[in-house]
Structure 1
Amino acid sequence: MDIPEYIDDPDDLPPEVDVHGEPRMIENGCDVMPDDWDEEDDGEWAPALVENPDYQWTPRQIRNPEYVEPPTFSEKLYTEVQAALPWVTLGILLTGLLSSVTSNLPLDLFMTGLLNTNTNGTGIVQLLWAAVAGLTVPLCSCGALPLCAGLLHGTSSNTPGLPLSIVMAFLTASQSAGIDSAAITYGLLGPTAMMGRLLGAMLLAVAVGLACPSSSHKQQSKTKNLLEETCHPSVSTYSGIVTIWFETALEIYPTVLTGLALSTAALHYLPSLTNYSSFHNDETTTTTTTAIIHTLLTRGTVLASAIPLQLCEHTSVTLAAALQKAGGSPGLAFGFLLSAPAINLPSLLFVATAASVRAMLQIVTTLTVTAVILSCVADAAHLDFMAGHATGDMATLPDWFAGNCTYLAVMLVVGGLLQKYSTTASNKSGDCCDTSNGKIKAE
C-alpha cells in the first residue's frame, strides 16, 4: 500500500461554525420528548444534536512523517548503473581471458564443435546449440553483451568470429533465462514454470537467430582487418589480453550506459508497465474475429513495449506476476517473463552496429510475434506459471569486486582511449603493422 505524502493534522479540531456560518451540530428535528419526561426532575428537554449535513470543513494537511520521497531520475539511473557495472566489467574481463587460451580453446569451441561455422549459413541445430550454450552461461544481460562482442568480432586470426545469427541466439538465451535463473524460478514458481521458461527461452533464441543475417559486411570487414586496425600482438600474451580489454570496454560501456539511461527514463517518465487493468478482457471466451485481433494487438503492444527496457531475468518474475495480478492472462504474464529480459536496448544497439537497423527491426518483430504465440499457447493449455509467486533476489557478485569495479571500469576506459589515441597517432605518422611477428614497424 502506497504511503500518502500528506495526512490530516490530528491536532486540527473542527470549529463550531464553518466559513459559511453553518453550525457543526444541529438539533434532530425528528426527536420528540419522551412521555415520561419530567422537566421538574429531568430539567428542560431539548432535542438531541446531530451532525449538520451542510457543515463543510476540511482538516489541515500536514506532511506524513512516514512518507519517503520517490527517487529522482538521476538517483534511479545511478542505482541502475551501480547494479549493472560489475556485470559489464566481469563480461569484459571474461572476454579477454577467453582470448588468452585461443590456441587451445578457440571461441568456436566455446559454442561446441557442432556449430561448425565454416558451413554455408546456419541451421536450426546450430542455433539450438547456441541457445543451449547461452542458457549455461551464468551471466546477466550486462555480462553477456561484452562476451558476445568478442564472439562476433573474434580476437585473433585463429578465431575470426561467429556468425551474427549464432551470436544473437546465444545472447537471447543467456538474457532470457539461465542456470541461475532456473534455480530461482524453480524455487518461486515450481518445476513446470522452470521447464517452461527454459524451453521458451530456447524457442525465442532460435527465432531471433533465424530473423537476423548469419553474417554482415560490418562483421566481415572488421574481422578481416582486426589485427591491421588494432596493431596488437597475439592475444595469447599478457599485452594482447589487455588490448582486448581496452577495445571491448570502449565498445560496450557506451552502449550499455545509453541503454540504461533510456530504459530508466522510460520507466520513470512513462506510465507503469504493470498497470494493465484495461487488458482484463484478454481472458474472454469469445471467438469473434474482432476479439481475436484485439487480443493479439493487446499482447503484442504489452510485450513489444518492454523489449527496449533493461529488465534482468530475475526481477522480470516480479513484474510478470504484477502484470497478471493487474488483469493480464497467465499466458501474457508468461510471454512477458520470456521476452522482457531477452532483448534490451543495449542488445539492439549492438545489432545495429554489427549489422543494420533493418536487422534490429527484424529481431524486434520476430521476438514479439514469437512471444505472442507462446503466450497464446500457454493460455490454450491453461498453464499458470505465476501461481505461488514469491519475491526472489538477484544473484550478486562478491562485495570486494562490486565495490572496486568502478575504478576498474575507469582504468579500462582511460586505457582504451590512450590506446586508440596512440594507434591513431602512429597511423598518421606512417607506421604500419608487421603482422608476421606481431610488432609495430615504422616505415
Structure 2
Amino acid sequence: MEYLSIFINSLVDLSNAMAPYILFGLLFAGILHESVPETLVTKHLGKESIASVIKATLFGVPLPVCSCGVIPLAASIKKSGASRGATLSFLISTPITGVDSILATYGMFGWAFTLYRVFTSMIVAMAAGILSNLFDKEKEVVKPKFSLSVNKPAEQSCCTTSACCSSSDKTAKFSMKKALRYGFVTLLGDIAKPLFWGLVIGALISSLIPQNLSDILSEHSWLSYAIVIAIAVPMYVCATSSLPIAAALMLSGVSAGAAFVFLSAGPATNTVTIGVVKNMLDKRSLYIYLASIVLGSLAFGIGLDHLFSSFEINPKSLLHMNEEAGMISVLSSIVMWMFILYFMTKTYLKRAKA
C-alpha cells in the first residue's frame, strides 16, 4: 500500500505540473492552426531541406512552451504539412528554451551560461532535423502512371468558376470555436493514449528515484553524466522548473556539465513525448530524436566543464535559487484527465463495437 500511495502522489504531482502547459499548448495550437495558413507552413517547413529545419528551430526557440505543451504544437505543424525533420527540430528546440526560460537562466546562471544553453539547443535541434531528413524521408505518394484524360478537364475547371476559387483562395475568418475544436478534439484525441501511458510510466520512474541522488552523483564524477541522462530523458521537467534542480545538483557537488546535461535533456524529452514522437513520426525518427538529445547533451555538457576549467570559472558563484506553485495546476489536471479518459473510453467503445 505504501508503494501505491507513493505512485499515486507521483502521478498527481506529475499531472499537476504538466496539465497547465498541455492545455495551453492545445489552445495555442488551435489558434495557430486557425491563424496560420497551411500553405505557409508547407512552404517554409514542408521541404526536406536544411532551410526548413533552421526555420523550425528558430521558430521554436522563443516560444514559452514545455516538452508536453510542444506536443500539440508539433502535431499541428506536422498535420499542416511540415516535414519530419522540421517537426523534430521544432520538438527539440522549443522546450529547452523559451523566453521565460531564457530570462530565468540568465537570472540564475548569468549571460554566458544562458547563451551556451540557447546556442547548443539550436545545434542539437538542427542536427536531429537534418538527420531525420537524410535517413527518414517521407514516403512519396505513388501516382498512377496512366491517368484518364477525362480527369484533366475536371482539374482544370476547378478554378474556372468564382465560387470554387473563393473557397480555396480567400482567407477564412478566424473562428475561436474551430480553434478550440481543433486543439481539444482533433489534436488531444490523437495524443490521449500515449499521454495516458506516458503519465503512468513517468510517475513510476519519479517514485523510484532515490532520495540521496545528489550523493550518488557527487561520488561518481564521470558516471554522473550517464546517471543524469538516465533520469533526465524519461522524467518530465520544464525548462524553467529544471533550473533550481540543476542549481541544487551543482551546489551538492555535481559538475556544471552534468547539471547542464539535465537542463538540456530533461526539458527536451520525457516518456510522454517519446510515445508521441513514435506515433506521430516513426521509430527511426524516434531513434534520431533520442540519439541527438542524449549525445548532444553529453557532448556539450563535457564541453562546458572543459570551458569552465580552462577559464578557471567557479559555476557555483553564478547561482541564485527560486520556487513557485498554484491552484490553477490542480484544475488544469482535472480537466486534462477528463479529456484523456473521455477519448480513451471513446476509442475502447469503438473497438468493442467493431
Q: Would you tell me which structure has more helix in proportion to its own residues?
A: 2
Q: In 2, Cα distance between the equivalents of 1:395 and 1:273?
A: 24
Q: Which residue, 337, 341, 345 being the options, matches 2:263?
A: 337
Cα distance change of structure 1 residues 117 and 413 upon mapping to structure 2, 3 Å threshold: same
Q: Which residue, 287, 305, 322 being the options, matches 2:248?
A: 322
Cα distance change of structure 1 residues 237 and 421 upon mapping to structure 2, 3 Å threshold: farther
Residues 108, 162 of structure 1: 8 Å contact kept: no
Residues 1:82 and 2:9 are matched in the alignment? no
Corresponding position of 1:261: 200
1:278-357 superposed matches below 5 A: 279-280=218-219, 282=221, 295=222, 299-357=225-283
Corresponding position of 2:149: none
Residues 1:106 and 2:37 are matched in the alignment? yes
Deviation per residue, 1:199-224 (Å, 9 max, x gap): 12212212322343476668989xxx
Residues 83, 138 of structure 2: 8 Å contact kept: no
CA RMSD, Structure 1 to Structure 2 (Å): 3.8
> Could you tell me which amino acid in structure 2 is paired with residue 117 of structure 1?
G
Q: In 2, Cα distance between the equivalents of 1:370 and 1:273?
A: 27
Residues 184, 392 of structure 1: 8 Å contact kept: no
Corresponding position of 2:159: none
Residues 1:93 and 2:93 are matched in the alignment? no
Q: In 2, Cα distance between the equivalents of 1:316 and 1:404?
A: 21
Q: In 2, Cα distance between the equivalents of 1:219 and 1:149?
A: 20
Q: In 1, Cα distance between the equivalents of 2:279 and 2:336?
A: 25
Cα distance change of structure 1 residues 402 and 368 upon mapping to structure 2, 3 Å threshold: same
Q: Which residue, 294, 306, 311 being the options, matches 1:368?
A: 294
Residues 314, 393 of structure 1: 8 Å contact kept: no
Shift of residue 172, structure 1, vs aligned partner:
1.0
Residues 1:387 and 2:317 are matched in the alignment? yes
**More contact order relative to length (CA 8 Å, sep ≥ 6):** 2
Shift of residue 128, structure 1, vs aligned partner:
2.8
Residues 1:406 and 2:340 are matched in the alignment? no
Q: In 1, Cα distance between the equivalents of 2:8 and 2:23?
A: 22
Report the identity percentage: 21
Q: In 2, Cα distance between the equivalents of 1:106 and 1:193?
A: 37
What are structure 2's unaligned runs of at least 5 residues? Answer: 143-171
Cα distance change of structure 1 residues 177 and 220 upon mapping to structure 2, 3 Å threshold: farther
Structure with the greater alpha carbon radius of gyration: 1
Q: In 2, Cα distance between the equivalents of 1:416 and 1:266?
A: 23
Corresponding position of 2:118: 198
Q: In 1, Cα distance between the equivalents of 2:175 and 2:344?
A: 17
Residues 137, 174 of structure 1: 8 Å contact kept: yes
Q: In 1, Cα distance between the equivalents of 2:335 and 2:262?
A: 36
Deviation per residue, 1:139-178 (Å, 9 max, x gap): 2222111111111122xxxxxx211211121121111111
Q: In 2, Cα distance between the equivalents of 1:74 and 1:420?
A: 24
Corresponding position of 2:49: 122
TM-score, scaled relative to structure 1: 0.61
Residues 216, 354 of structure 1: 8 Å contact kept: no
3-state SS of 1:346 partner: helix
3-state SS of 1:141 partner: coil
3-state SS of 2:318 partner: coil
